[in-house]
Structure 1
Amino acid sequence: MTTVDTAASTSTAVRTALRMAHSRALVDFGLDAIGRVRFGWRDRSIGSVVERAGTRHWLRVVWARRGWARSAWWTGNHDAATIAGVEKPRLLDVRAWEEGPLVYRAELMSLLPGRACAPTAVLQRTPGLDEAWWVELERSLDRVSATATDRTLLDSEIMRRRITVFFGVDLDIDERDWRPSHGDLHWNNLHREPFAIADWESWGLAPQGYDAAFLLGHSLAVPHVAEQIARRFRRDLETEGGVISQLYVLTKLLTRADAGEHGELVPAIHRHVGRLLGTRMPLRRGGGAHTT
């Protein structure tokens, strides 16, 4: 009981602090807020549509403890300006300040047209995307891959250990073969009408096929979409890096399922792991869960 109450109060305190930081950023940038604010995953950020001199933008404020505010993800949206030929937000201005042990970073960005392909990271139903959209996704990922960068957000030793712990296989992960990737390519970060890709804080070097693997993992609840991704990106997904990427992404999804997020994906994840490792996974008939 105490844990639940503490968690609730902590979340309320974080959101209150984020709202105050958002209000400060509005004043600093000389902006008017439009509509309601949106909180990011696990309340790491807050954002809203804003307006200045008749033009609408997107304001995002993120927080971190001082030690984390120097890592690569902190400047991801700024560093993404080096990526050419991909439809994405432009970073227009930045403000940062400290409050006690925390650092806040406010980013004023251009407002992407269109809408997100799904309301959450995990796909729940067919998105109904045409061939032109898929072609643009493939072209955009090729452009990202061709960008020169030394940004690295993944740790090969952590990847190796997690894959071993979750799936019982010890794989050699060679960072020399890594290539630039978006790093968080899920359905809420992909836009349609027109195509665009949002949220570049995590981009950097990753194993071959990491973006395709990330999107595939977040599509397993809609099998024919997952199959389409596997087919379109087969060249990358069937490489050694592609298999490693898929296994690692699935460890992330299982970790989140254990925390209560998208638990419905768990059976599909294990079936997919079985196919990747060439093992037939035992499935309980009848679909019922036993309790003890």
Structure 2
Amino acid sequence: MVPRPRLLGLCDWSADGWDYRAEHYEFVTTPPVAKSPVLHDHAELPDTWWQDLHQALARIALVRTDRQAVREQYIRRRLPEFTGVTPGEIIWTTAHGDLHWANLTSASLTLLDWKGWGTAPLGYDAANLYLHSLPVPDIAERIRKEFAHVLDTPAGRIGELTACTEILQAAARVPFYAELADGVRHHLSRLKNSRSGSAPSGR
């Protein structure tokens, strides 16, 4: 099973032409790895934590759903605008959709905040976690090594470019994305210049 809070109940309703859903999850006492989505300090995470993260993302990817974490229309319109890259074929998978350090607990792994899960380009979750780790190079490097089998592929490159695009687009209105923007642009430059389409080391 995916380590996530247990859903205790939900309520759907419609008003003024909009559909709404409220979900009630159990309270998680284990603290997140960081209070901010962006990692600023080294995190001591055991090998078992990384193994659990691998298993969780692999299991999420197998879930069949009509939910969308990222829309194809967005990718094809915004990637060229923010990265200069025109995407070709997109390999889709199911993703958590908001994988960053405030949504992952330390010690024993739990994935929090499930409101945005759905289909996304391959590598999207791993890329998001990598980009939110750029201020801590050793953790960023660990993520690239752990998920090289996804990120260092042409399909995973589209997922990474999508994550870069979202951060750069939101940088003007979201403070923690603004602080990431320069690092993302620097990484994006290296990513685009890599011959194989695989991203370079986080160092």
Q: Structure 1 residue 266 and structure 2 residue 152: aligned? A: no
What is the one-letter code of the residue matched to 1:242? G
Which runs of no fewer than 5 residues in structure 2 stay unpaired?
195-203
What is the CA-CA distance between 1:99 and the residue it aligns to?
6.1
What SS is found at the alignment partner of 1:258? coil
TM-score (norm 1): 0.61
Structure 1 CA distance, aligned partners of 2:114 and 2:68? 13
Structure 1 CA distance, aligned partners of 2:51 and 2:92? 23
Q: Structure 1 residue 276 and structure 2 residue 197: aligned? A: no
Aligned residues with identical type, % of pairs: 37
TM-score (norm 2): 0.86
Structure 2 CA distance, aligned partners of 1:144 and 1:207? 13
Q: Which has the higher contact order (CA 8 A, sep 6+)?
A: 2
Cα RMSD of the aligned pairs, angstroms, is: 1.9
What SS is found at the alignment partner of 1:108? strand
What is the CA-CA distance between 1:159 and the residue it aligns to?
0.7
Structure 2 CA distance, aligned partners of 1:206 and 1:178? 6
Query: Residue 233 of structure 1 corresponds to which residue in structure 2?
Result: 147
CA deviation profile, 1:40-98 (whole Å, cap 9, x unmatched):
xxxxxxxxxxxxxxxxxxxxxxxxxxxxxxxxxxxxxxxxxxxxx11101211123456
Query: Residue 251 of structure 1 corresponds to which residue in structure 2?
Result: 165
Task: Specify which structure has the higher proportion of strand.
Answer: 1
What is the CA-CA distance between 1:104 and the residue it aligns to?
5.3
Q: 1:178/1:197 Cα in 2 relative to 1: closer, same or farther (>3 Å)?
A: same
Structure 2 CA distance, aligned partners of 1:98 and 1:161? 31
Contact 2:45 / 2:107 at 8 angstroms: preserved in 1?
no
Larger CA Rg, structure 1 vs 2: 1
What is the CA-CA distance between 1:129 and the residue it aligns to?
1.2
Q: Matches of residues 9-20 of structure 1 in structure 2 within 5 Å?
A: none
Query: Residue 116 of structure 2 corresponds to which residue in structure 1?
Result: 202
Q: Structure 1 residue 168 and structure 2 residue 110: aligned? A: no
Structure 2 CA distance, aligned partners of 1:223 and 1:171? 28
Higher mean alpha-carbon deviation, 150-159 vs 179-188, is at: 150-159
In the alignment of these two chains, the number of paired residues is: 193
